[in-house]
Amino acid sequence: MKESLTFDFCSMTIYDNYVITVINEGVVITLEHNETLLKVAESYFSNKPFVYISNRINSYSVDPKVYFKTEQIPTIKGLAVVTNNYQVKVNAKIEKMFFNKPFEIFTELEDAVAWANEMTYHCN
């Protein structure tokens, strides 16, 4: 399965066991934006494990409260951030403190996908 979804603040590509999200430039991700992720998870991953991959091509920020809500999705097994930007990596390390499930930072999207596949393979 591969399906692309576009929203006013991001685009998402849904795969069998992970979703890749690209947030638009300058967005501040809030709990309201996170409701979209919750609905996508409910629609596509209601009964199977998945990993959320944030491909951080653009500059944006995340309200840390989002992570408390996201980790409550029963089927989410981990979160990956993909970036080559040093400051984004520093920010992601701080964000990681708010998420009590596996959270990894990668420089290559392919590495994040491999990790997502490994995380969900062990759940089946």
Q: 3-52, pLDDT tens digit by residue?
A: 999 999 999 999 999 999 999 999 999 999 999 988 999 999 999 999 99
The pLDDT mean for the chain works out to 93
pLDDT value for 121: 82
Taking alpha carbons only, the member of 21, 96, 98, 116 closest to residue 60 is 21
pLDDT value for 4: 96
Single-letter residue type at 12: M
Q: How far is CA 44 from CA 7, 9, 26, 65, 111, in A?
A: 16, 20, 27, 23, 23
Question: How many helices, marked H, and strands, marked E, lie in the chain?
Answer: 4, 8
Class for the domain spanning 3-121: alpha beta
**Is the separation of the CB atoms in 56 and 68 below 8 Å?**
no
